[in-house]
């Protein structure tokens, strides 16, 4: 069967209530597909329209929305991705994460623009979706298995399938549990794995092939743009050399040299043992094989091995979180802790950052007998304790915000809106501070990473210590990130490609002219819808802030010495550039221009 | 910000991309525009030459703004541009007089531009006609050539728009020199015949 389609959208999704196993096929109107593209954008639209801001994150009614994008599986560079959207149990905000591997392609081939999963299985189950429909299968034999064993078992049961699963952390409700699919790629952050666990849902298996294959309307033009895009990726030293050779860990030395590698829970911004945990060391002593998501020419993934174990990763963020952030320079311990997180299905950033928070609480005397900075064996034990919710691990499984507050020092949780900050100290790259503060899903580098212009010089190098004049650039990056997550393309392509490439790819696939500027407008619409969700959920401008340390404690030494983040003027400029008032609420004119005024009104958000 | 205007303005003049008082630049800062003063010398910009005025609404400062303020505003209102550079480079102007689009034959121009549309207007300076025409093209291309006048380049940063301008003039210069030899250009790029569809 060949269902080659001229449209990049199927125009339908599958809604499944796992309480009953009932499934219905629902239409996706063409105007919704064009306005939100797919992936993250489609998820954001549905979460706001369905008033999910009123639903507790771990309640059965909180939907998990799995969605590929219009470019998924088309052969566009690094386009084999999908998003998962829900309200986060860690942050309470709207949340989405995306992953590579082959799961997104498989869903697209089955003929759906999304899977919408609500309810709670009476007993542990997994969901099997194929060309003929869906069914719930008992997962008693899978429950309790770690991620690799679950994936392996499901491959045995359903040869040729693609599975997205949770590990023990998701089963036990660790608030930063992840969802992991074949090839070891994760929807890592925000605890979407806990949402899945709360549904008693161990896995979603895509088996069989619905027969759909992409057929760009203008195939010749599509091939031409792919050729030109690939040229750009192959001529850029980051995408053709740095990432393929070292993986994302190439950034350890880059950020350390810049004085922007947060160390010991952001107390310092340079790590004296950085060389020991660098990408160069990882390549030399641990890397056994390079890997790539389907359809990707960059290949930033890698297999590694220690004397006793082997597995995927670690990524840069992981090395930082379990390493510099905890004051640990033992790369073997970091690599093996990463394996443990992967087995349990836990976000390594929040895991490491929460342990670092516990280490500082110990240092200041607020946590008796707790772990100390630099103690690799304590860090390693705590990873397992968190996954099992054993002892202090049960508290740590709530994330740093709740943990630090419970021990009397909320200011020591290095988080924004409840999500732990990643591996970039904004005192050494001020625009990143604004990016963290304004991120719709909390402290995150994937909503927009000012690393590009402030450290890597993409599109051009800007003064990383300057404050004013960066809001417009950040907003364009945030809007573009929305576009990439909704087309479902890897963000690393933006290291070498500009928005016009994405517009030309979508135009060739759909046969409808999409201008680059229109694409950014779509990104702005998605960002605004996410903001509306958060406003409706009770978030406000008060939450657009940073941990006090970053605002008040100057960096003591290194290239960023003496710097703090002067956030207030940046934030004021940001709101103006967004067309929001001083309280961070979009103007009516802005909402109408983005055609979301009706959504805002229905959500009860009063435009200013 | 003044430093960026000064250094790029100086470079534009030294590179021969503008005459003594020609060209203009601006950046968008939220609902404001910083634009070079009407009649200023981009090669010798001082603080008083950077005019701060409204994006949508006029204020008294508009009396000092570049003649092209109407075009700059229209571009910002229709695109996500954060910076605009407009110049009068001689090779580009010459090529625009004999073509409806300019297709680079050099490597750098091919990578960065692929194709540059040439747009015609009767009134080419500070006109409502140009303000109506250019933004539509700049939604699709980061640099558009106004026939007989000069290119408008957009970017997220002033340096980006400057780079496109510089590359474009170099491209046109190479094109002019290659054509002047009277010999056929030997193609070295795969798929370059498709650049006209970019």
The per-residue DSSP string of A60-119 comes to TTS-EEEEE-TTTTTT-TT---EEEEEE-TTTSSEEEEEE-TTHHHHHHHHT-S-EEEES
Rounded Cα–Cα distance for residues B98 and A75 (Å): 39
Find where tokens 């499944």 sit: A16
Q: Is A66 left (phi over 0), alpha (psi -120 to 50) or beta?
A: beta
Test mutation, A227, A515, A594, chain B, max B CBs within 10 A: A515
Residue-level pLDDT at A500 = 93
Q: Do A504 and B80 touch (CB under 8 A)?
A: no
Q: CATH 1.10.569.10 in chain A, residues?
A: 245-413
Dihedrals phi, psi of A164, to nearest 5 degrees: -115, 125
Q: Rounded to a whole number, what is the distance in Å from the CA of A215 to chain B's nearest CA?
A: 20
Chain position carrying tokens 């250019």: B134
Right CATH for A430-603 from 3.40.50.150, 1.10.599.10, 3.10.270.10, 1.10.443.10: 1.10.599.10
Q: Where are the beta strands (DSSP E) in A352-508?
A: 415-416, 419-420
**C-alpha closest to that of A265 among A421, A393, A401:** A421
The whole-number pLDDT of residue A211 equals 79
Q: What is the CATH number of domain B2-183?
A: 3.40.225.10
Contact call for B80 and A462, based on CB within 8 A = no
Residue in chain B nearest A474 by alpha carbon: B156
A201-206 vs A125-130, strand pairing mode? parallel
Terminal C-alpha separation, chain B: 34
Of A459, A471, A498, the CB nearest to B157: A459
pLDDT score for A5: 60
A275 vs A259: CA distance, rounded Å: 14
- Asked casually if ipTM beats, i.e. exceeds, 0.95, the reply is no
Superfamily of domain A12-206: Aldehyde ferredoxin oxidoreductase, N-terminal domain (3.60.9.10)
So what's the pLDDT on residue A465? 97
Q: Which two tokens stand for residue A135?
A: 């069914």
Residue A211 burial (CB count, 10 A)? 13
Contact A576, A570 (CB under 8 A): no
Distance from CA of B119 to the nearest CA of A (A): 18
d(CA A40, CA A45): 9
Q: Which two tokens stand for residue A387?
A: 């996954």
Sort out which chain A residues have CB atoms less than 8 A from B163's CB and list them: 460
Nearest to A485 by CA among A10, A39, A9, A32: A39
Looking up tokens 């003039």 gives B169
User: In this complex, which of B29, B80, B142 lies closest to A469 when CB atoms are compared?
Assistant: B29
**Residue of chain A minimizing CA distance to B156:** A473
* Class of A245-413 in CATH: mainly alpha
The C-alpha atoms of residue B42 and residue A457 are separated, in whole angstroms, by 25
* CA atoms within 13 Å, Cβ hemisphere of B40: 26
Q: Which two tokens stand for residue A128?
A: 């099997």
Give me the phi and psi of B145, to 5 degrees please. -100, 125
Phi-psi region of B10 (alpha: psi -120 to 50; beta: other; left: phi over 0): alpha
What does A309-374 look like in DSSP terms, one character per residue? -EEE---HHHHHHHTGGGT---HHHHHHHHHHHHHHTB-HHHHHHHHHHHHHHHHTTSSTT---TT
3-state secondary structure of A185: strand
Inter-chain CB proximity A518 and B156 less than 8 Å:
no
| Residue-range domain boundaries for chain B | 2-183
Mean pLDDT of successive 10-residue segments in chain B (198 residues)? Answer: 95 98 95 94 96 91 93 94 97 98 97 96 89 95 97 97 98 97 94 88
Q: Are A139 and A125 in contact (CB under 8 A)?
A: yes
The pLDDT value recorded for residue A301 is: 87
Largest CA distance in chain A: 67
Q: Are B106 and A500 in contact (CB under 8 A)?
A: no
Q: Give ranges for CATH 1.10.599.10 in chain A.
A: 430-603
Helix (H) or strand (E) holding A245: helix A243-246
Angle at A23 between CA A18 and CA A26, to 5 degrees: 130
Q: Taking CB atoms and an 8 Å cut-off, how many pairs form between chains A and B?
A: 66
Task: State the DSSP code for A184.
Answer: G
CA distance A6 to chain B (A): 20
Q: A520 and B156: CB-CB below 8 Å?
A: no
The DSSP element (H or E) to which B25 belongs, if any, is strand B24-29
Buried/exposed B65-92: b ≥16 CB within 10 Å, e otherwise: bbebbbbbbbbbeebbbbbbbbbbbebb
d(CA A386, CA A377): 14
pLDDT at A1: 33
Which helix (DSSP H) or strand (DSSP E) does residue B33 occupy? strand B32-36
Task: Report CB contact under 8 Å: B30, A453.
Answer: no
Closest chain A C-alpha to B21 CA, distance in angstroms: 27
Here the contacts of A48-53 (C-beta below 8 Å, separation 24 or greater) are A48/A94, A48/A529, A48/A532, A48/A533, A48/A536, A48/A599, A48/A603, A49/A599, A49/A602, A51/A536, A51/A602, A51/A603, A52/A86, A52/A87, A52/A94, A52/A533, A53/A87, A53/A94, A53/A533, A53/A534, A53/A536, A53/A537, A53/A603
pLDDT beneath 70: ranges in chain A: 1-6
Residue B140 burial by CB count (10 A; 0-12/13-18/19+): exposed, middle or buried?
buried
CB proximity under 8 Å: B 155-194 to A:
155-157, 159-160, 163, 190-191, 194
Half-sphere exposure of A460 (CA within 13 A, CB side): 16
Nearest by CB to residue B82, choosing from A476, A503, A576, is A476
Residue range(s) in chain A whose domain bears CATH number 3.60.9.10:
12-206
């Amino acid at each position: 069967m060949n269902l080659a389609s001229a449209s990049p959208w199927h125009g339908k999704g599958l809604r499944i209530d796992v309480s009953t196993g009932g499934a219905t096929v629902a239409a996706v109107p063409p105007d919704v597909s064009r306005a939100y593209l797919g992936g993250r954008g489609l998820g954001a639209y549905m979460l706001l329209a369905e008033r999910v801001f009123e639903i507790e994150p771990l309640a059965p009614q909180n939907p998990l929305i799995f969605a590929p994008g219009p470019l998924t599986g088309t052969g566009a560079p690094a386009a084999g991705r999908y998003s998962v959207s829900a309200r986060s149990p860690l942050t309470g905000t709207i949340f989405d994460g995306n992953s590579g591997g082959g799961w997104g392609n498989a869903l697209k081939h089955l003929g759906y623009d999304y899977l919408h999963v609500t309810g709670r299985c009476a007993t542990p189950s997994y969901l099997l979706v194929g060309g003929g429909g869906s069914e719930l299968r008992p997962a008693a034999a899978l429950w309790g298995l770690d991620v690799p064993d679950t994936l392996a078992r499901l491959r045995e049961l359903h040869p040729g399938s693609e599975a997205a699963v949770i590990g023990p952390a998701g089963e036990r409700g660790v608030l930063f549990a992840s969802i992991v699919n074949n090839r070891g790629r994760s929807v890592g952050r925000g605890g979407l794995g806990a949402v899945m666990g709360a549904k008693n849902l161990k896995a979603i298996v895509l088996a069989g092939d619905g027969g759909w294959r992409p057929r760009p309307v203008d195939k010749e033009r599509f091939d031409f743009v792919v050729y030109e895009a690939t040229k750009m990726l192959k001529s850029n030293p980051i995408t053709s050399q740095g990432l393929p050779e070292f993986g994302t860990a190439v950034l350890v030395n880059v950020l350390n040299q810049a004085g922007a590698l947060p160390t010991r829970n952001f107390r310092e911004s340079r790590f004296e043992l950085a060389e020991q945990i660098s990408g160069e060391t990882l390549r030399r002593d641990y890397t056994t094989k390079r890997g790539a998501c389907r359809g990707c020419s960059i290949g930033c993934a890698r297999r590694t091995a220690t004397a006793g174990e082997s597995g995927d990763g670690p990524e840069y963020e992981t090395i930082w979180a379990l390493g510099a952030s905890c004051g640990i320079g033992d790369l073997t311990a970091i690599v093996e802790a990463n394996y443990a997180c992967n087995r349990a299905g836990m976000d390594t950033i929040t895991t490491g950052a929460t342990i670092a928070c516990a280490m500082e609480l110990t240092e200041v005397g607020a946590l008796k007998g707790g772990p100390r900075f630099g103690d690799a064996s304590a860090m390693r034990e705590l990873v397992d304790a968190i996954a099992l919710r054993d002892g202090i691990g049960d508290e740590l499984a709530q994330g740093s915000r709740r943990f630090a507050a419970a021990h009397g020092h909320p200011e020591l949780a290095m988080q924004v809106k409840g999500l732990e900050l990643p591996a970039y100290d904004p005192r050494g790259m001020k625009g990143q501070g604004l990016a963290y503060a304004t991120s719709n899903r909390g402290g995150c580098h994937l909503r927009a990473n000012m690393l590009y212009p402030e450290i890597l010089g993409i599109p051009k190098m800007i003064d990383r210590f300057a404050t004013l004049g960066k809001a417009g650039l950040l907003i364009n990056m945030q809007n573009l990130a929305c576009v990439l997550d909704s087309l479902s393309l890897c963000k690393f392509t933006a290291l070498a490609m500009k928005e016009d490439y994405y517009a030309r790819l979508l135009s060739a696939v759909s046969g409808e002219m999409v201008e680059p500027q229109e694409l950014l407008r779509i990104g702005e619409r998605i960002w605004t819808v996410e903001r509306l969700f958060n406003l409706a959920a009770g978030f406000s401008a008060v939450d657009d802030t940073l941990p006090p340390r970053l605002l008040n404690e100057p960096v003591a030494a290194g290239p960023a010495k003496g710097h703090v983040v002067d956030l207030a003027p940046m934030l004021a400029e940001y709101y103006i550039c967004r067309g929001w008032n001083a309280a961070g609420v979009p103007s009516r004119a802005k909402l109408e221009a983005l055609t979301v005024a009706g959504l805002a009104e229905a959500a009860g958000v009063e435009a200013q | 910000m003044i430093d960026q205007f000064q250094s790029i303005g100086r470079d534009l003049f030294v590179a021969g991309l503008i005459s003594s008082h020609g060209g203009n630049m601006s950046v968008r800062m939220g609902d404001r525009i910083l634009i070079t003063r009407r009649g200023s010398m981009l090669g010798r910009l001082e603080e008083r030459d950077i005019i701060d005025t409204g994006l949508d609404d006029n204020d008294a400062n508009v009396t000092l703004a570049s003649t092209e303020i109407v075009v700059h505003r229209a571009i910002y209102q229709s695109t996500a541009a954060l910076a605009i550079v407009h110049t009068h480079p001689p090779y580009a102007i010459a090529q625009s007089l004999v073509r409806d689009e300019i297709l680079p034959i050099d490597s750098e121009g091919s990578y960065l531009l692929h194709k540059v549309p040439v747009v015609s207007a009767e009134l080419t300076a500070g006109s409502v006609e140009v303000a109506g025409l250019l933004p539509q093209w700049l939604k699709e291309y980061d640099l558009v050539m106004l026939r007989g006048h000069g290119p408008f380049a957009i970017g997220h940063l002033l340096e980006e728009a400057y780079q496109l301008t510089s590359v474009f003039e170099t491209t046109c210069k190479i094109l002019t020199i290659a054509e002047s030899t009277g010999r056929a250009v030997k193609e070295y790029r795969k798929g370059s015949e498709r650049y006209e569809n970019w």
